[in-house]
Chain A
Amino acid sequence: MTTWSQNKVGCILLEKKLAQPFKKGDKRTQKPAWDTEKCTKCALCYLYCPDAAIRMRQDGFYEEDDTYCKGCGICARECWFGAITMTEER
């Protein structure tokens, strides 16, 4: 497990193309949930996520990544179609 003190300055990730080994999203209180009937697969949530925590599923819809979603709620506010709601973390 790599910790934050071993990172490069500027959080540059060069070795792997995904930040999978860094589990950071375990302190959140909310998490987003997608309504697939309203979602148009426009990928605005993917664009606006500061933590790169939203990825595309096999069927083209989007889902959050538990390892680094911090639950900020930007995706829910920026979604044009209201397809994302923030649900309480259990």
Chain B
Amino acid sequence: MDRFALFVPKLLPREECFLPDAPISCKGCGEALAVRLVYKTLGAAMISMGTWKIPFKPPLADVLGTKKIEPTMPSLLRLPKDSKQVLTICFDNEARTGTEKIEKEFWKKRMPAVAVAEGVSYVATACPGYPFDLIAKVKKACTAPGDAYLHILCPCPVGWAFDASLSVKIGRLAVDSRVFPLYEVAQGVCFLTVTIPQPRPVKEYMRLQGRFAQFSDADCADIQAMVAHEYSLLSASSQQGEQEHGHHDSTHH
């Protein structure tokens, strides 16, 4: 029976530790949903020890000599697990140089891969479009030995230019089109928690968002090929880990 998990929203804890507030989150904010689910999973006692960090400041501020630095929202949550072990959660809304200035770029820095290379013992990616997967990973990151890093993709209706009601759907589509695969790396063993046998076209994901309006069909085809390549690498290492270590205790669907 321990191979089965229950996906019932009613059985989640009722306690709300997240304070929704208009100047901080817009309507339909994916980051607010992710933060709310993380807080709900961790509980008030653990969150009160956490600190929010600003990941990096704008790179050209010192060089250009401009005093005005844009206020950056903190998007790294650090929580102490034990004496020296830290759980770091990155809320990624893919805002590179301010959401209003969008250049023609699709790929971002591979932060989970950096964390794996740094020797963090539990690394996982999550998305609020798959809420039970996110909750299971937060729970596992708390109980896993050693440091942990979670990378959560948060759709941003204002920055990505889509309707506020599509926020959850776009997050799910990012996973279903294999752009943002959900996986976990525990003790160096990679495992795809959500496998996508029949992916949706990447073009469908890109055409729903205004930030990719300047990408032509040829660009979409290039990105589709690159996405397929990345996913094949990931699934190959996932299958290798499964063969070497056999049975996995985590049972996401």
A residues in contact (CB < 8 Å) with B = 4, 7, 9-14, 17-19, 22, 24, 27-28, 41-44, 46-53, 68, 70-74, 76-78
Contacts and interface: CB of A to CB of B under 8 A. Distances in A.
B148 interface: no
Given A73-B164, A74-B168, A22 B48 contact: no
A50 B21 contact: no
Contact of B164 (A41, A48, A72): A72
A11 B28 CA distance: 16
Contacts of B26: 70
Contact of B18 (A52, A77, A78): A52
Interface in B1-34: 8-10, 12, 15-30, 32-33
A10 B146 CA distance: 25
Name, among B22, B25, B169, the residue most crowded by chain A CB atoms within 10 Å (CB to CB).
B22
B35 to A, nearest CB: 7
A72 B167 contact: yes
B9 A44 contact: yes
Contacts of B12: 47
Given A18-B16, A70-B27, A12 B9 contact: no
B165 interface: yes
Contacts of A12: 17-19, 39, 47-48, 50
A77 B20 contact: no
B16 A9 contact: no
Contacts of A76: 165
A22 B19 contact: yes
B210 interface: no
Given A22-B19, A43-B9, A74-B164, A9 B25 contact: no
B166 interface: yes
B50 A68 contact: no
Contacts of A50: 20, 25, 28-30, 32-33, 36, 167
Contacts of A9: 52, 74
A77 B169 contact: yes
B77 interface: yes
A14 B20 CA distance: 13
A60 B167 CA distance: 27
26 contacts: A4-B22, A4-B23, A7-B19, A7-B24, A10-B74, A11-B24, A13-B19, A14-B17, A14-B48, A18-B16, A19-B20, A22-B20, A22-B21, A24-B20, A24-B22, A27-B22, A42-B9, A43-B10, A47-B12, A50-B28, A51-B27, A72-B164, A73-B164, A74-B165, A74-B167, A77-B169
In the A-B complex, list the 6 residue pairs whose CB atoms are closest, starting with the nearest: A73-B165, A72-B28, A70-B27, A51-B20, A50-B33, A43-B9
Given A48-B168, A50-B28, A50-B33, A13 B17 contact: yes
